[in-house]
Amino acid sequence: MQGPGTRIARERCLDCHNDVLERVVDAKGTRIRHGECAKDAACDTCHGTAAHGSATRWVRQPVMDDCVRCHLSRKASVACDACHTEKSSAQRLAAGPWQVTHGANWRKTHGMGDITVCSVCHPQSKCVTCHGTPLPHAEDFGRTHGASATSPEQKCDGCHDRKVFCTGCHGIEMPHPATFLAGHSKIAKSRQDKSCLKCHYQDDCDGCHEKHTHPGTTKGTLKGKLPDIPAATP
């Protein structure tokens, strides 16, 4: 026989367990203050098998990433022992989603996790060692990433498919191939082409086309924050 297909109203549980909202519950190696951490959540968000056991079709359980995101937003402690009272770090990582991101194949799977919670255990310098840039990217990275993407040390391909990710946003091959300058007049619609102005100042075009400076001596792709130019639709 199949189990219930809908979530259970929390009021049914609180009829008998209302006291959990007033105290710290320490059970099965986890410490939690329901009144703060789960005051608006359905009980079966974490207690998926309560009452129905193995008959439950969708077994839900606590996910640490959810806890960490909330703690970070509220500037609450993210120290392991603030919530965990038993088991070693290795045992904790062997359960839930982290067994995928921290398993034997972690070099290929760690990006499948929520990058915002990685900093709880791993300093940004740990990411830079392999990725060549701090992770997660800064909020304005989408407008300032040109310097990183074109540097000889760039490692964007480790996470991003260049043809899909870069070209899909810019609408043209990125970074530009060595032959781009000689043939760019067939791609750029004008010196006001918004696809170009996403990365270049107008001066880059005028330097060659009006001032007749030698190609390659203009500013090129900006190294700092780009001007506030609306992004063109590829």
In-domain check, residue 86: yes
**What average pLDDT does this structure show over 208-216?**
70
Domain boundary among 39, 64, 91: 91
**Amino acid in position 180:** F
Residue 154 sits in the same domain as residue 101 = yes
Is 50 exceeded by the pLDDT of residue 229?
no
Domain boundary among 141, 158, 175: 158
Residue 16 sits in the same domain as residue 74 = yes
Is 60 exceeded by the pLDDT of residue 2?
no
Select from 202, 208, 192 the least CA-distant residue to 222.
202
Instruction: Check if the beta carbon of residue 206 is closer than 8 Å to that of residue 172.
Output: no
Higher pLDDT, 97 or 165: 165
Residue 87 sits in the same domain as residue 24 = yes
Looking up tokens 């059970």 gives 27
Q: Residue 26 is inside which H or E element, if any?
A: strand 25-27
Residue 31 sits in the same domain as residue 49 = yes
In-domain check, residue 222: no
Domain boundary among 64, 91, 118: 91
Confidence of residue 122 (pLDDT cuts 50, 70, 90): confident
- Give burial (CB, 10 Å; 0-12/13-18/19+) of 222: middle
Residue 54 sits in the same domain as residue 105 = no
Which tens digit of pLDDT belongs to each residue from 145-203? Answer: 887 887 777 788 888 888 888 888 888 888 788 888 888 888 888 877 887 887 887 77
Residue 106 sits in the same domain as residue 76 = no
**What average pLDDT does this structure show over 113-137?**
84
Identify the domain containing residue 63 by its residue range: 10-91
Query: Which contacts (CB < 8 Å, 24+ apart) does range 228-233 have?
Result: 229/194, 229/197, 229/198, 230/194, 231/194, 231/198, 232/171, 232/193, 232/194, 232/195, 232/197, 232/198
Residue 137 sits in the same domain as residue 122 = yes
In-domain check, residue 153: yes
Structure tokens at 110: 């760690």
In-domain check, residue 33: yes
User: What total number of domains does the chain contain?
Assistant: 2
Which has the minimum average pLDDT: 1-10, 33-42, 120-129, 219-228? 219-228
Instruction: Check if the beta carbon of residue 184 is closer than 8 Å to that of residue 199.
Output: no
In the three-class reduction of DSSP (H, G, I as helix; E, B as strand; rest coil), residue 106 is classed as helix
Which tens digit of pLDDT belongs to each residue from 34-49? Answer: 999 988 888 888 888 8
Residue 42 sits in the same domain as residue 109 = no
Which has the minimum average pLDDT: 10-24, 49-63, 102-116, 217-231? 217-231
Q: Return the pLDDT at 217.
A: 54
Is 90 exceeded by the pLDDT of residue 124?
no
Share the mean pLDDT of the chain: 79
In-domain check, residue 187: no
Percent of the chain past pLDDT 90, that is, above it, reads: 6
In-domain check, residue 180: no
* Dist CA 16 CA 11 (whole Å): 9
Where do the DSSP E strands lie in 54-129? none
Residue 74 sits in the same domain as residue 15 = yes
